[in-house]
């Protein structure tokens, strides 16, 4: 198994095990189990500071994602979601100096298919507060964008290929004291990593460079809320903030925003 | 209920970010990455008819505050909320119909300009329209008719591990601008000794252009900045040399670490011995060889005419036009300034004056290219000679495109451009 897949798989297994251990306690508190499949839509934006060239350089990786999702509600407080959609990944600022002519990618978003899964499990309640854990894994499949090189006296082409993965795992606490809102706060291990490849062809000159990137921040907080304006329809919004250490020293923050709509409760 | 307000704030921000973004830069490309800008600030220009209270409200809504205003252009320097990024704020301001544009407060820095006292005379490296020559009333050149040296040095000033072999009349080993740049005393194949002293002057002039000590507060700057020089004397005091000496000098230069070789001489024809030597050092040893086309306004001389092994360099002037004596032919690959080039000259020949002079010739044009080849090899040591030569060709500016579009027999692909050869090319849609 490639080294880069291990954290994702291990995280999901651990969370699944944790959810499984917590399930009997919750089930005992409930009068009946419910198993439902709920369709939904989701959108997300994030900007993460990534490092590359053996962590000697950094730039921003931005992504806008839109997905359709199916949520399997196994029990009250226990759901598994699968989603697939399309995303635009913008790695502007990545510089490929291993090519015959160095290239500075500033061409914006590269479209790609996106797949992923998430799982959420509430373990117990204390007063109006619910405590649980959630995990999400998403993967932007490899996609290539062809670009023209026109600044030389020979025209050339560049092919930029992007792929990345992201794993979020962490506990959450949710406030259940409102009728239609249930705000929550989570602490998340949030790992993003990927590979960007640039291939260059200018007449007889050609070369290719693969660059492994990783987000600099690993732990962040997520603040959000679920909102049920009418029965059978739930909106969920969340804002994530992930601190990271800048290459030039000092701390800075990356942000992300996600919205989800779930139909049928 | 605080969470309720937060939710709507999140939702509004999310909607703004997820909707297709518009360009906020009037130039058409709001690219932030790769260009440094002042943190926590953006520059905002409102449309002319927008009243002041609307401007204030627009800034307040986004939790920003004006720091100062450039009155003549009605541009506000705005401090943004610490929780927001510059990019997000530019995007949000850009969605306001009252805003003409919003941009980062980019940070500019001086280009890498060496402190050599006579750098201002080197129009070939940085032409700002200065006078060409000592004498008052000397002609001035067209600004930017140069090889873009300061821009190229932004990316690299080369490596001391890259050695440029000056296979020529030798080098003035005691010259103040060269003595710290030569690898050692070199080799003299004319007199059969181990000191490649220059009794002619040509090699010292070529060496200065390719790799004079740079940023040392005196004299001139060398294109190759940190690259070192290997003196190899194969031409005598009259500037003449036989093919056997040249072949021996070439092979010795390669054995002693040269990665680039400047062969600033020529003849109407070449025997197979020199061709064999060049074939070996290029194909087997991976050395880049640069040679001038010649100064007689005739067909390209050898060894520059040996396509495939040698990069043939013609000469241009301070206006980016072909120097009238530069030889021509299909073998010409690129050009570089070769008219009134200010360079080092042997101390012994300078009669008490500064050991520098203005000189014409395709040899000096080739020396510029040899210096650039040294920088390319420093930056990308894994490239083959053919790849280095392609980089030098494809990055050249086609400065005579109005007369001859594309490669032509006068300046080949064009006058070399250090910025394009070295600095990452920005690719955008």
> Residue B17 and residue A64: Cβ atoms within 8 Å?
yes
Long-range contacts of B12-20 (CB under 8 A, 24+ apart): B13/A239, B13/A257, B13/B88, B14/A43, B14/A45, B14/A237, B14/A257, B14/A258, B14/A259, B16/B91, B16/B92, B16/B95, B17/A45, B17/A64, B17/A257, B17/B88, B17/B91, B18/A43, B18/A44, B18/A45, B18/A64, B18/A66, B18/A257, B18/A259
B205: left (phi over 0), alpha (psi -120 to 50) or beta: alpha
Active site residues per annotation of B: 168, 202, 363
- Residue B403 has a pLDDT of 95
Question: How does pLDDT run across B31-85, given as a tens digit for each residue?
Answer: 354 566 778 899 999 998 899 889 999 999 899 999 888 888 889 999 998 888 8
Domain that holds residue A97: 3-20+35-263
- Residue B136 has a pLDDT of 82
Nearest to B7 among A44, A152, A227 (CB): A227
Question: How does pLDDT run across A208-257, given as a tens digit for each residue?
Answer: 999 999 999 999 999 999 999 998 899 999 999 999 998 877 889 999 99
The per-type count for chain A, helices as H runs and strands as E runs, is 1, 13
ipTM: 0.81
d(CA B222, CA B224) in angstroms, rounded, equals 5
State what percent of residues in chain A have pLDDT above 90. Answer: 77
Name the domain count of chain A: 1
Parallel, antiparallel, or unpaired for β A233-245 and A251-263? Answer: antiparallel
Residue A29 lies in a domain: no
Count Cβ atoms within 10 A of the Cβ of residue B177 and give its class: 0-12 exposed, 13-18 middle, 19 or more buried: buried
Residue A27 lies in a domain: no
Are the CB atoms for B166 and B183 separated by under 8 Å? no
- Residue B73 has a pLDDT of 85
State what percent of residues in chain A have pLDDT above 70. Answer: 87
Residue A157 lies in a domain: yes
d(CA A106, CA A115) in angstroms, rounded, equals 26
Residue A25 lies in a domain: no
The DSSP element (H or E) to which A170 belongs, if any, is strand A156-175
What's phi and psi for A37, nearest 5 deg? -110, 120
Question: How does pLDDT run across A243-253, given as a tens digit for each residue?
Answer: 999 887 788 99
- Residue B7 has a pLDDT of 40
Residue A119 lies in a domain: yes
Low-confidence ranges of chain B (pLDDT < 50): 1-31, 33, 110
Residue A30 lies in a domain: no
Q: Does A129 touch chain B (CB under 8 A)?
A: no
Which of A:5-34 have CB within 8 Å of B? none
**Which residues on A lie below 8 Å from B425 (Cβ)?**
101-104, 149, 151-152
- Residue A147 has a pLDDT of 96
Could you tell me the two tokens for A145? Answer: 């964008």
- Residue A29 has a pLDDT of 43
SS3 A184: strand
Are the CB atoms for A100 and A123 separated by under 8 Å? no
> Residue B383 and residue A147: Cβ atoms within 8 Å?
no
pLDDT band at A34 (very low <50, low <70, confident <90, very high): low
Which of A:103-122 have CB within 8 Å of B? 103-108
Question: How does pLDDT run across A136-153, given as a tens digit for each residue?
Answer: 999 999 999 999 999 999
d(CA A124, CA A119) in angstroms, rounded, equals 16
d(CA B377, nearest CA chain A) in Å = 11
CATH of the domain at A228: 2.40.128
- Residue B394 has a pLDDT of 98
Residue A224 lies in a domain: yes
Residue A158 lies in a domain: yes
Question: How does pLDDT run across B362-411, given as a tens digit for each residue?
Answer: 999 999 999 999 999 999 999 999 999 999 999 999 999 999 999 999 99
Range A159-176 average pLDDT? 97
Out of A19-33, A44-58, B240-254, B303-317, pick the least confident. A19-33
Write b or e for each residue in B51-62: b if 16 or more Cβ atoms lie within 10 A of its Cβ, otherwise e.
eeeebeebbeeb
């Amino acid at each position: 198994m490639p080294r880069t897949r291990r954290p994702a798989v291990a995280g999901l297994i651990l969370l699944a095990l944790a959810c499984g251990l917590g399930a009997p306690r919750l089930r005992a508190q409930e009068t009946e189990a419910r198993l439902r499949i709920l369709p939904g839509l989701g959108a997300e934006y994030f900007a993460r500071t990534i490092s590359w060239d053996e962590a000697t350089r950094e730039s921003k990786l931005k992504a806008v994602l839109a997905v359709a999702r199916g949520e399997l509600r196994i029990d009250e407080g226990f759901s598994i979601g699968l989603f697939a959609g399309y995303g635009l990944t913008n790695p502007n600022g990545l510089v490929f100096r291993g090519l015959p002519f160095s290239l500075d990618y500033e061409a914006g978003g590269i479209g790609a298919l996106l797949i992923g899964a998430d799982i959420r499990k509430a373990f117990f309640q204390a007063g109006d507060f619910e405590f649980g854990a959630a995990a999400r894994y998403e993967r932007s499949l490899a996609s290539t964008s062809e670009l023209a090189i026109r600044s030389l006296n020979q025209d050339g082409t560049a092919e930029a290929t992007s792929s990345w993965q992201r794993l979020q795992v962490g506990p959450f606490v949710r406030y259940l004291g409102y009728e239609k809102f249930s705000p929550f706060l989570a602490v998340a291990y949030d790992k993003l990593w990927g590979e960007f490849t640039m291939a260059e062809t200018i007449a007889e000159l050609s070369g290719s460079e693969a660059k492994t990137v990783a987000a600099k921040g690993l732990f962040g907080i997520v603040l959000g809320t679920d909102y049920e304006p009418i029965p059978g329809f739930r909106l969920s919004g969340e804002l994530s903030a992930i601190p990271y250490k800048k290459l030039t020293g000092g701390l800075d923050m990356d942000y992300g925003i996600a919205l989800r709509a779930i139909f049928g409760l | 209920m605080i969470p309720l307000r937060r939710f709507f704030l999140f939702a509004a921000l999310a909607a703004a970010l997820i909707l297709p973004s518009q360009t906020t830069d009037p130039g058409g490309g709001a690219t932030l990455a790769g260009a440094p800008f002042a943190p926590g600030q953006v520059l905002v220009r409102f449309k002319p008819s927008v009243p002041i209270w609307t401007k204030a409200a627009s800034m307040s809504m986004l939790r920003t505050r004006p720091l100062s205003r450039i009155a003549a252009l009605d541009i506000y320097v705005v401090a943004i909320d610490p929780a927001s990024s510059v990019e997000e704020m530019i995007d949000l301001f850009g969605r306001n119909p009252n805003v003409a544009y919003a941009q980062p407060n980019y940070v500019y820095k001086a280009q890498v300009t060496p402190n050599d006292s006579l750098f201002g005379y080197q129009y070939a490296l940085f032409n700002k329209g200065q006078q060409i020559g000592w004498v008052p009333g000397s002609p001035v050149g067209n600004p930017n008719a140069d090889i873009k040296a300061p821009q190229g040095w932004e990316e690299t000033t080369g490596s001391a591990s890259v050695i440029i072999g000056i296979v020529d009349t030798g080098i003035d080993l005691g010259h103040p601008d060269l003595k710290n740049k030569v690898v050692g005393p070199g080799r003299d194949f004319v007199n059969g000794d181990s000191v490649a002293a220059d009794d002619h002057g040509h090699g010292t002039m070529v060496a200065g252009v390719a790799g004079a000590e740079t940023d040392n507060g005196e004299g001139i700057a060398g294109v190759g900045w940190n690259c070192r020089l290997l003196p190899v004397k194969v031409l005598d005091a009259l500037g003449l040399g036989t093919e056997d000496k040249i072949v021996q000098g070439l092979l010795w230069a390669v054995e002693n670490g040269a990665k680039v070789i400047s062969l600033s001489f020529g003849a109407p024809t070449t025997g197979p011995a020199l061709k064999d030597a060049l074939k070996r050092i290029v194909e087997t040893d991976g050395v880049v060889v640069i040679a001038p086309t010649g100064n007689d306004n005739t067909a390209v001389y050898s060894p520059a005419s040996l396509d495939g092994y040698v990069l043939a360099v013609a000469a241009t002037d301070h206006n980016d036009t072909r120097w009238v004596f530069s030889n021509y032919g299909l073998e010409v690959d690129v050009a570089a300034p070769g008219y009134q080039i200010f360079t080092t000259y042997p101390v012994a020949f300078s009669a008490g004056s500064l050991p520098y002079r203005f000189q014409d010739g395709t040899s000096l044009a080739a020396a510029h290219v040899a210096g650039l080849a040294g920088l390319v090899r420093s930056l990308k040591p894994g490239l083959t000679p053919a790849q280095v030569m392609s980089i030098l060709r494809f990055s050249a500016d086609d400065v005579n495109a109005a007369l001859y579009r594309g490669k032509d027999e006068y300046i080949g692909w064009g006058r070399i451009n250090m910025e394009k050869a070295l600095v990452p090319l920005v690719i955008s849609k």
